[in-house]
Amino acid sequence: MTTIPAKKLENGVEMPYLGLGVYKMTDREEAIQAMTEALKVGYRAIDTAALYGNETEVGEAIRSSNIPREELFVTTKVWNTDQGYDQTLKAFETSLKKLGLDYIDLYLTHWPVKEKFVDTYRAIERLYDEKLIRVTGVSNHHQHHLEKIFVKANVKPMVNQIELHPYLSQKPLLNFCSENNIAVTAWGPLGRGKILEDETISDLAGKYNKTAAQIILRWHYQNDVITIPKSVTTSRIQENMNIFDFELSQEDVRAIDDLNKDFRTGQDPDNFHFDF
Ligand X SMILES: O=C1CO[C@H](CO)[C@@H](O)[C@@H]1O
Ligand Y SMILES: NC(=O)C1=CN([C@@H]2O[C@H](COP(=O)(O)OP(=O)(O)OC[C@H]3O[C@@H](n4cnc5c(N)ncnc54)[C@H](OP(=O)(O)O)[C@@H]3O)[C@@H](O)[C@H]2O)C=CC1
Q: Which stretch binds ligand Y (CB under 6 A): 35-43, 118-126, 148-156, 223-231?
A: 223-231
The verdict on 141 binding ligand X (CB under 6 A) reads: no
Of 236, 244, 253, 263, the one binding ligand Y by CB under 6 A: 236
Residue 262: other Cβ atoms inside 10 A: 9
Closest separation between CB of residue 20 and ligand X, Å?
14
Residues 41-70, interacting with ligand X (CB under 6 A)? 49, 51
The verdict on whether 52 is a catalytic residue reads yes
Residue 141 assigned as binding residue: no
Residue 112 lies near ligand Y (rule: CB under 6 A): no
Q: Is 76 a residue that touches ligand Y (CB under 6 A)?
A: no
User: Binds 84, which of ligand X, ligand Y, none (CB < 5 to 8 A, cut-off by type)?
Assistant: none
Q: Minimum CB separation from ligand X for residue 151, in Å?
A: 25
Question: Out of 230, 241, 252, 256, which residue is the one contacting ligand Y (CB under 6 A)?
Answer: 230
List of residues contacting ligand Y (CB under 6 A): 21-23, 47, 110, 139-140, 161, 187-193, 196, 211, 213, 228-233, 236, 239-240, 266
List of residues contacting ligand X (CB under 6 A): 23, 49, 51, 110, 266
Q: Which residues are catalytic?
A: 52
